[in-house]
Structure 1
């Protein structure tokens, strides 16, 4: 069966940490693909931006 695990963080290092912890427990032969995305939105005051770093790991269960 194919399954997915979705990760979402405001900082890329947090995303990296979470994904590495998950991938440590996943057999390499079960990994199918990893999809990565970054979104940026202006903060309410529009002087700063909010970032959303997300990834989806597709794997065989």
Structure 2
């Protein structure tokens, strides 16, 4: 096996875990962003409900 072949095999093993890790990180960030958006939406809905109740009461 030539040095180039060995180097290519090493590069594959080095790159693949990095690609997997980056993919997992991107997936986690997407999930975090979705959850954050959902929480913001819920907070906005609560705020709107509270304002409506205040208007109805006052």
Tell me the TM-score range normalised by the shorter chain. under 0.3
Larger radius of gyration: 2
Q: TM-score, normalised to structure 2's length?
A: 0.28
Q: Please identify which structure carries the higher strand content.
A: 1
Q: Please identify which structure carries the higher helix content.
A: 2
Q: TM-score, normalised to structure 1's length?
A: 0.27
Using CA pairs below 8 Å that are at least 6 residues apart, which structure has the higher relative contact order?
A: 1
